Structure 1
Amino acid sequence: MALGIIGIVTSLFLLITLAYRGVPVLLAAPLASVVAVLFSGAPILASYTEIFMPAMADFVSSWFPVFLFGAIFGVLMTVTGYAESIARTVTKLVGSRSAIAATIVTSALMTYGGISLFVVAFVMYPLARELFRVADIPRRLIPATIALGIFTFTMTALPGSPQVQNIIPGQFFGTGSFAGAGIGLVGGALIFGLGLLWLEYRRSALVRKGESFDSPQSEYVAGGSSEEGAENQVTTLEPASRLVPFLPLLTVFAVNFACTLLVFPALDWSYLEQERFGGATVDERAGLWAVMLGIAAAILLLAALNVRNSATLWAGCVDGAKRSMLPIFSTASEVGYGAVVASVAAFAVVRDSVFGIGAGALWTSVLSVSVTAGLTGSSSGGMTIALNALGEDLQAMAEQEGVSMEAMHRLTAMTAGGLDTLPHSGAVVTLLIVCGLTHRQSYKDLGVVTLAIPVLVVVALVSLVSVVGSF
């Protein structure tokens, strides 16, 4: 048994090392799985074909529409020029002197509006770079500023977020994307406020030291210009007006809200009891369906508003479909790895140890999800791994303790957005590459706003909810 636990730890270390070295998760996860299996003494081939692949396929079958629609929506928002127009409108309202706040708000609007996190990163960098240049803010703060807007409060805290990290808990706890609204709003405000304060403090501190946008220590170019790659992804069209670009984002929220709280509860779902639907319930699927319909409605609106540019729109749809492949299969590969680890006998010892702490449902959920998200470097992958292994037990524990499932949903989602941005995280590596900067230059600030602050906020909220209950 001890050898099996060593195998789990070794496989996790290998996964982190390979990811940090730039090895794609599609390769790293199966290799790490082999290590765990070898130490456990289980058969390698059977573990791969009967455990790893089914778990990977289940994730793809469940979440492919969200990744597909999200990627297409993001590309269409870019090729129509709407994303850039939103950024410039927000900047004009906030003011170029508030470049940090303008970048955060714009990134957050796009993320909360349903655009893929990675698409937002590519769209925002050229705009943030210009804002920081005009305001003469050290360039090293750009990654942390963008990350605060896309990897934190809009991804997991704000109720109704269409990002997959906010939908996954509903599949296990029977909740919708607006679950735990009060907790999410308070948590989101704290993460945004504390993150902004930190970045403004860092700007002042760096400027006092004599650092500026063009300081040598702020600039890094490796392997070609990431800025050039971001700007030349697509050919943009002119949006009709300053207000029109916001309509697709509002559509995602409005349709999601209406379906979750008004439309779905009023419909008859008795047909789901038929055998052909596999025993699915509306509580398990409502969050996913609402987001899918919201993004689909926004895509249709984009098509209607730009009907005269149908050729460009179609090319954008094709490009978006292609871009959805790598993110979903990378995450699914991590889920497959988690399934293999969960299948070895030593994992039962680890699982029982987590539950043996006796910390209660909320703390157990936060601990298990936080650790797996940190080890895999993925919020969605880590959360899925933890909930696949412990979800039913956590739900039963919460019901026994009288803990609100909505609170479980919100705090579980928020904790996934903490340790997931450790240095080996694929999202962190990608963002730094896009911005043309290194971990040494920018990770300190990125780590504070996306890891330290969210973790502290979650700990505070779990403590508060444990005392006063859900709010």
Structure 2
Amino acid sequence: MGLIGILLGLALLIGFAYRGWSVLLLAPAAAMVAALFAGESPLAHWTQTFMVGTAAFVAQFFPIFLLGALFGKLMEDSGSVQSVARFIGDSLGPRRAILAVVLAGALVTYGGVSLFVAFFVLVPMAQSLFRDANIPRTLMPAAIALGTSTFTMTALPGTPAVQNAIPMPFFGTTPFAAPGLGLIAAAIILLFGLWWLGLVERRARRAGIGYGGTLGLVPDRTADEAAEDPLVRGRATVAGTFDPAEIHQGEVTPRPPSAFVAFLPLLVVIAVNLAMSLLILPNLDLSYLALDQWGNSSPAAVSGIWSVIVALASAILVLRALNWKRLPRLRESVDAGLNASVLPVVSVACLVGFGTVVAALPAFEMVRTWVLGIEGGPLVSLAVSTNVLAALTGSASGGLTIALEALGSTYMQLAAELGIDPALMHRVAVIGAGTLDSLPHNGAVVTLLAVCGATHKESYFDMVMVAIVGAIVALVGVIVLGTLFGSF
């Protein structure tokens, strides 16, 4: 009965979330259903298990959500994201429209800009370039997803994405875990995605299909309505770090900065993250963290998160200094960025709370045994578990945290016994969470299609190819290379 309860709770969570119900209610309700079938107190699990898991996630990762959303909003309102996108678009031109959109998305997200801020800025750029090049507009969601939601989220070493931060406390790693394997995975995802998009573009040209399809040019649908759509908002907040409802708060400057000024804060994120991870924190005496005052923690448990926090905070200060007169409504912009972080972090934390309850139930031992018994060893079972949970929750961050909360210590023990570098575990877990999370109910997928004015029928298959198939190929490559040569 316990296993039936877990499956039923998961089915209720997925089914109602897909219909637009908030996970703030669904997650504890589903957890209590699972507890009831296990013959345990639902109220005790709600207040003593669910809330503890939820609060732990917020305590650990809220600073990254907070600073990431604030940085993204200030980058938008200062005109910096628009300047970066315009520079890439002007440099490559309509002849390389797809490449321009992909690279622009990659640059801003790897530099720390929130995913949904990037969506709303990149769509107008993509519309202009695709229209001039007469490329089917149905390819826009896949091109933007490739640049923003794949290799810069999970594979590139040092990415400040929250997905890359989640394994760090569990494995004692840094944002730059397994850099060589990460770069190889990123190259596979990028090249596969560009190959597919180029193939579809050439097929469309041969068939006489242009920007507006076979009927010629059509008016672009507005992206503004997507930000106010409750269904889009509900799904988006479990897949990213920015609440779309805040996207139009504040004021975007009419005088955006030069490309040089716009790029600097992005470079600061990367440079400070690297310096903190590899130079500064490893040489500091952090032994005081073992005291009761600091929760009996360790440098390995916090240094990775500290690196991302300091990088984002530094970039915010540099951004403000460089754009002193380009943020006319600074307080409103700051408020919007800060407010935009709250619903996403609580929504993802509630998914984690559900996973915490499930992991505490006696029937979960059957799930644990099945996962760890998957053929291929710990790397394969870790990849499968993060894939499945990210797919079921529609959230890479939620699925990844649930998997590691339940099995992270077990995988660390296996890594020690089998001589597997925890950095390799880190990279496999992150890339694994960023594959099947892009199923049709994923918040980023729903939001991007809505912002582009496209439908699943029109554009989703191409998104599958660039965001799922390419990522799975890269994941297999990392597992094979990691098994043969270890972490590098």
Which of the five TM-score ranges fits, normalised by the shorter chain?
A: over 0.9
**How far apart are residue 91 of structure 1 and its match?**
1.1
Question: Any gaps of 5 or more consecutive residues in structure 1?
Answer: none
Partner of 2:337 in structure 1?
A: 320
| Cα deviation digits, residues 316-346 of structure 1 (max 9, x gap) | 1111011111211111111011111112211
Paired residue for 1:399? 416
Cα root mean square deviation, aligned: 2.1
Letter in 1 for 2:10: L
1:366 partnered with 2:364: no
- Residue 296 of structure 1 is matched in structure 2 by 313
Gap change, CA 1:208 and 1:9, over 3 Å in 2: farther
Aligned residues: 469
Name the counterpart of 2:349: 332
Structure 1 residue 306 displacement after superposition: 2.1
**Alpha-carbon deviations, 1:273-307, whole Å to 9, x = none?**
22100011111111110110011011101111122
Name the counterpart of 1:15.
Answer: 13
Q: Does 1:124 align with 2:129?
A: no
Instruction: List gaps (5 residues or longer) in structure 2.
Output: 230-243
Task: Quote the Cα distance in structure 1 between the aligned partners of 2:35 and 2:178.
Answer: 39
* Other-structure match for 1:158: 156
CA contact (8 A) 1:125 1:434 kept: yes
Give the SS at the match of 1:244: helix
Alpha carbons 2:388, 2:436 under 8 Å: kept: yes
Task: Using structure 2 for the length normalisation, give the TM-score.
Answer: 0.92
Q: Does the CA-based 8 Å contact 1:219-1:437 persist in structure 2?
A: no
Corresponding residue for residue 45 of structure 1: 43
User: How many Å separate the matches in 1 of 2:48 and 2:445?
Assistant: 32
Q: Give the counterpart letter for 1:420 in structure 2.
A: D
Aligned residue for 1:415? 432
Amino acid at match of 2:354: Y
The separation in 2 between residues aligned to 1:66 and 1:228, in whole angstroms, is 25
**Shift of the alpha carbon at 1:72?**
0.6
Which amino acid counterpart does residue 339 of structure 2 have in structure 1?
K
Deviation at 1:406, TM superposition (A): 1.2
Aligned to 1:139: 137
1:334-365 Cα shifts (integer Å, max 9, x gaps): 10111111122111111012113353221121
Structure 1 position 173, deviation (Å) = 0.5
What is the aligned counterpart of 1:83 among 73, 81, 84?
81
Shift of residue 228, structure 1, vs aligned partner: 10
Instruction: Give the secondary structure class of the aligned counterpart of 1:92.
Output: helix
Q: Label 1:102 to 1:165 Cα distance change in 2 as closer, same or farther (>3 A).
A: same
Task: Tell me which of 230, 235, 257 is aligned to 2:251.
Answer: 235
Given residue 393 of structure 1, which amino acid in structure 2 is its aligned partner?
T
2: CA distance between counterparts of 1:262 and 1:223? 43
Aligned amino acid, residue 332 of structure 1: A
- Deviation for aligned residue 1:16: 2.0
Q: Answer yes or no: is 1:343 the counterpart of 2:341.
A: no
Aligned equivalent of 1:73: 71
Q: Which residue of 2 aligns with 1:109?
A: 107
Match runs of 1:242-261 below 5 Å: 242-261=259-278
Residue 456 of structure 1, aligned match among 464, 468, 473: 473
The answer (yes or no) to whether the contact 2:93–2:129 under 8 Å persists in 1 is no
Residue 466 (structure 1) shift: 1.2
SS at the partner of 2:473? Answer: helix
| Of 46-55 and 242-251, the range deviating more from structure 2 | 46-55
Letter in 2 for 1:382: G
Match of 2:323 among 281, 297, 306: 306
Is structure 2 residue 76 aligned with structure 1 residue 59?
no
Check if 1:390 corresponds to 2:390: no
**Over residues 34-75 of structure 1, what are the superposed CA-to-partner deviations in whole Å (9 max), with x where a residue is unaligned?**
332232222221111111111111111111110010001001
Query: Which residue, 180, 187, 192 being the options, matches 1:189?
Result: 187
1:143-187, CA deviations, whole angstroms, 9 ceiling, x for partnerless residues?
A: 111111111100010000001111111110101001100000000
1:438 matched residue in structure 2? 455
**Distance in structure 1 (CA, Å) of the matches to 2:5 and 2:398:** 20
| Structure 2 equivalent of residue 285 of structure 1 | 302
State the partner residue of 1:27: 25
Share of identical aligned residues, percent?
A: 46
User: CA, structure 1 residues 109+80, in 2 after alignment: closer, same or farther (shift >3 Å)?
Assistant: same
More divergent stretch after superposition (259-268 vs 10-19): 10-19
Q: Which amino acid aligns with 1:71?
A: A
1:115-155 deviation digits (Å, cap 9, x = unpaired): 11121112211211111111111111111111111111000
Which of 280, 294, 297 is the equivalent residue of 1:263? 280
Q: What residue number does 1:149 align with?
A: 147
Which residue does the alignment assign to 1:273?
290
Q: CA deviation at 1:25?
A: 2.3
Matches of 1:456 and 1:242 in 2, distance apart?
Answer: 35
Deviates more, 1:154-163 or 1:358-367: 358-367
Distance in 2 separating the partners of 1:404 and 1:341: 28
Which amino acid is the alignment partner of residue 424 of structure 2?
A: A
Return the alpha-carbon distance in structure 2 between the equivalents of residues 108 and 361 of structure 1: 31
Shift of 1:223: 11
> Cα distance, 1:426 vs. partner?
1.6
* TM-superposed deviation, 1:262: 0.6
Q: Which whole-Å CA distance do the structure 1 matches of 2:207 and 2:30 have between them?
A: 44
> Which segment drifts farther, 4-13 or 288-297?
4-13
Residues 1:461 and 1:359: Cα distance change in structure 2 (over 3 Å): same
Report deviation, 1:209. 2.9
Verify the 8 A CA contact 1:96 1:131 in the aligned structure 2.
yes
From the superposition, tell whether residues 341 and 377 of structure 1 become closer, same or farther in structure 2 (CA, over 3 Å). Answer: same
Q: How far apart, CA to CA, are the structure 2 residues paired with 1:387 and 1:327?
A: 19
* Structure 1 residue corresponding to 2:446, chosen from 404, 429, 432: 429
Q: Would the alpha carbon gap of residues 32 and 344 (structure 1) be closer, same or farther in structure 2, given more than 3 Å must change?
A: same
**Partner residue of 1:169 out of 157, 162, 167:** 167
Q: Distance in 2 between matches of 1:458 and 1:263?
A: 31
Compare 119-128 and 350-359 and name the one that shifted more. 350-359
- Between the aligned partners of 1:11 and 1:139, the Cα distance in structure 2 is 39
